[in-house]
Structure formats: C-alpha cells, structure tokens
Amino acid sequence: MAGHKNIHVAMYPWFAFGHLTSFLHLANKLAQRGHRISFFLPQKTKPKFEPFNHHPDLITFIPVNVPEVDGLPPGAETTNDVNFSLHSLLMTAMDLTKPVIEEYLQDLKPHFVFFDFTYWLPEVSGRLGIKAVLYCTISPATVGYLMSPERNLLEKSRTGDDLTKPPASFPPSSIKLRAHEARTLAATAENEYGSGITFMERQMLSFNGSDVISFKTCREMEGPFCQYVEKQFGKPVILAGPVVPEPPDSVLDEHIAEFLDGFEPGTVVFCAFGSECILAKDQFQELVLGLELTGLPFLAALKAPIGAETIESALPEGFSERTKGRGWVYGSWIQQQLILKHPSVGCFVTHCGSGSLSEAMVKECQLVLLPYAGDQIINARLMGGDLKVGVEVEKGEEDGLFTRDGVWKAVKAVTDDDSEIAKEVRRNHTKWREFLSSDKLEDSYIDSFIQNLHALLD
C-alpha cells in the first residue's frame, strides 16, 4: 500500500456547496497525480458538480439519496435548499446514511476517507481498516481559537465572555472577537445540530475521532496556528497548501461581461456574499446604499433579504433610478471566479467565506471584509489584522450592525490611491498573490500531502 503507489480516497463532505466545492478542488489536485477518488454527494446535486470534475476517469461521483426526515422539505439535499434553521435536520438525514456509506466503504476498500461533519465516520472506517482524515474547510486559526481542547468545551458551556479572548496558549495574533460576535458564536456552538447532539459536540467528536487533521492552507501563512492545533489535539496536522481552484472552462455570461466591459480597468466594486448568506432587510439596504455612496460602478450578487420575495422589492426607494447604468444588484448564481479576474474589477466586498478568500487572494482586486457569521469573522481578522491584505467594515460593538457610511469608508480606504492604508494592503496583497500563484508552491504542498498520506499507511 505504501511507497509510491496510487492511493484511493473516499470523500464524504457536509452537504453544503462550500464544503462540496472545497473537497472537489482537492480531489482534482489528487486525481491530477493519478490518485483515485470516490466522491459521495447528493443525487440531484451531481449534475451541478460534473462540469467541475476535471478528471472523470479518476473521480467517480457516487450519488447518495438523502433520507426523509420529519420537517425537512421533500427533495431538500443541500443547505442551499433550506434556510439555516433546518440545517440540523439535513445533518440528521446525513447521519441516517451511515449504513449505506458503510456498505459502500466495505465494497470500495479505499485507503482513506475524508470527512468533516459526519463524526461517526472514523468509527466506521476504523472497523474496516480505513484511515479517517478530517479535512477542514475552515482555517486552523478558527479551529484553534474556537475549538481548542484547552477551553474544556465538552465539560462546560461557553459564554460570550469566554470567547472575546483567545485561549491562553494561542499564538500571538490580532484575532479576537467583539462582544456581539462572541455571544452569537457561543450560542451557535450549543445549538442542536442533527441527531440530538450540539454543533460543538459534533465538531469535537470529529476532531477527536480522526486519525489526522488536514487543512487547505500554507505554513507560511498560518504555521503557528497549525502547530497549536497539532499540539492541542495530539494528532498529526497535514497541509494541502493553497489548493487554488483551476480556472473554469466556461466564459463569462454575455450580459455580465457587457456590463463590466463598459468601465475602466480597476474601477468596478464587486460585492458577493455566497449562496447561503441572507441579510436582514435593513442591512441589505445599508450595504447597497454604501455601494451607491462610493460613486463607483458596482455589481452586487446578493440573495433577496429576509422577508423579501425579490431583490427589486427590497431595494431602497429611488435606488434603481439613481444608480442606473453604473450599479447592478443581481439575485442569481454568479460566476465569481470569472468576475474577479475581469480587468474592470478593482475591489471585492466579501463575506469572508474561505472559498471566496482563496479565489480573491490570487486576483488583483483589493479586499473589503464584511464577515457575516461563524468562521468568516476569524477569517476577516486574520486577513485584515495579521496579514493586512484588506480592510474590515466597521460594525457596532454591541449590536454588530454596519452602516452605509462604514461600507463607503472601507471601499474608499482600499481604492484611494493616495491613502496609506491602500498602499499597505496593495503591497501585502501583491506579495501573497505572487506567493500563492506559484506553481512550484502548490506542487510541493500537494506532493508533500500525498507523501504524508503514504506515511500513514506504513
């Protein structure tokens, strides 16, 4: 099994697009080097991911039927199909696939199974002689800050106060949480998240059960956090490197290309908040009014806010008339990677999802950080504070709300050529972009990643 033979990896990510996509990016990198992947994903979601499978001869999609669960809408398969309050039911449905997945693994006999939220997989794979790799779609900084065993999470409930500061031996960093963020994250961790266990219990069982923990990052960016996680959990941490996604084969939709082509290079503000972020109506309006205030052309890809049927019905009065020809709020799925590399895009206002940040870090646009929830908050502090590659939008210390002025100020800070902040973030972003875009970097990380997997089989 060991040596330089090709390995066979099964993958079972949480049924959320960000997780499925992140796992598929890694699958493509492994398949590129001749390794075989059996990729479990929901039945109806399979066609959506087929265009992103660059090695169909080596990556086999295995469709999984999502079991019916009381309260889960019929046909719901991913977090994209349900609102956040129903995510725990979808998780319960995934837990119910345990016998099916076990049968598949028994038949496929892979060397490894990569997983994240299905905490029961290490126990199943252990019985079958398969190594369980917890592949984290969140950063080591997030895991270390929020889930460190040093916080004794399973012995006592966390309070918001606990989380405003990092754990005692956390590496030196500018990462800390504001009162409102700490309260929300502490409450989320204690919420039931499928099969009667809390989100935090699910995470800790996954970390403690795995044979190895893996992240999509580089030592050069997050080395101290990786060492901290390795020490705290007492098991190997292996890094896959930046796992920069392959550029899509598709071309930009004609109507979007036409809009962007109408502006000078580097002048358009692109704002995108991912497929699952749904803002409250007042925050949605503050965001688009902030974009209007910049005076720059903008394209915003946002979901209709809570309680609104359509984007149009939620826009502030007179907004469409005032921004006609230079501003566009777009409510459908958007080709983010292609938009980010369009020459007219000069600024990216992002919710700081890890997928969006990895795409943006290898592009030339400047970053405005507007985290929405969970690990996005830690990502924003890491990018804005430690690496200084972007500017975070100010929010109220207690209520966590941002204003149109806050959005305008952050965009102005990174787009004003004379501003010292703009010069600093541009200099830092250029340094990291050049570093992350190097073919040798990615190759060396993926080759080392594979060597580490082989070592686990010896």
Kindly list the catalytic residues. 19, 116
Q: Check residue 274 and report its DSSP letter.
A: T
Residues counted in the chain: 458
C-alpha to C-alpha distance for 357 and 323, rounded to whole angstroms: 28
Question: Which residue, among 139, 116, 146, has the nearest Cα to 217 in the 3D structure?
Answer: 139
Handedness of CA 273, 274, 277, 281 (dihedral sign): positive
Q: What angle do CA 84, 142, 273 make, to 5 degrees?
A: 45
DSSP letters spanning 63-116: EEPPPP-TTSPTT--SGGGS-GGGHHHHHHHHHTTHHHHHHHHHHH--SEEEES
Nearest alpha carbon to residue 268 among 250, 276, 256, 279: 256
Residue showing tokens 């990052």? 217
**Do 299 and 270 touch, CB atoms closer than 8 A?**
yes
